[in-house]
Amino acid sequence: MATITVFDQNKTEAGQVTLAPEVFEVEARPEILNLVVRAQMAAKRAGTHQTKTRAFVSGGGNKPWKQKGTGRARSGSNRSPIWRGGAIVFGPQPRDYSFKVNSKVRALALKMALSSRLAADNLMVVKAIELPEAKTKHFAKVAGALGLSKALIVAPEENETLTRSARNIPGLTLTTPDRLSVLEVLRHKQLVLLEGAVSPVQARFEKKGA
């Protein structure tokens, strides 16, 4: 069972918190992380690409020239795929790129991602972040004090002040326990949990029975 230090927003020690080993001490398996990350990235693809087949290219209603006697190769339409301005053969068509991954596998992958940040000493628990107003400069000052560069910050719930203050700082992403994903955790080198978010993060896995 891992017990780590809790810091305040000035990086002064403010206590300790115990993290559940079944969530934060899971051995990482690259093949599972890879599968879930690919599934999440595939689900983001629009799949709206489309090329025109002969059925959709306008023109080409008349035979360009007679079948015989011209010395040219026979042709039935100037919108054939072999003609300039013609149709596309086997081009991309609209499709859904997403594929299903078992919910228990997704939960396991998220545990592995969280555990990897703790194992690499890149997980920090901060008591709270309180700002006088929603200004980028205030959040940047806190990020500098905590030594954050490319970090995913998990707040216990939506906070308009924090969201507006952090959104213009490159490398920093603010999220909540219910939106936490494997892709976001692995994209950021550092993981910062506000103290109030620790229990909700661990509770996600209790609800799923994972």
Same domain, 109 and 177: yes
Q: What is the CATH number of the domain that holds 22?
A: 3.40.1370.10
What 201-205 contacts at long range (C-beta under 8 Å, 24+ apart), as own/partner pairs, is 201/23, 201/114, 201/154, 201/177, 202/19, 202/20, 202/23, 203/177, 204/107, 204/110, 204/177, 204/178, 204/180, 205/22, 205/23, 205/107, 205/110, 205/111
Total count of residues recorded for the chain: 210
- d(CA 101, CA 187) in angstroms, rounded, equals 20
pLDDT in tens, the chain (210 residues): 788 999 999 999 999 999 999 999 999 999 999 999 999 999 999 999 999 998 899 988 889 999 999 999 999 999 999 999 899 999 999 999 999 999 999 999 999 999 999 999 999 999 999 999 999 999 999 999 999 999 999 999 999 999 999 999 999 999 999 999 999 999 999 999 999 999 999 999 885 444
Instruction: Give residue 87's domain range.
Output: 47-96
User: Got the DSSP string for 68-92?
Assistant: SSSSSPP-S-TTSTTSTT---SS--
Q: Take residue 139 and report the two structure tokens written for it.
A: 């959040």
| pLDDT tens by residue, 69-118 | 999 999 999 999 999 989 999 999 999 999 999 999 999 999 999 999 99
Contact 2, 25 (CB under 8 A): yes
Same domain, 63 and 34: no
Same domain, 121 and 87: no
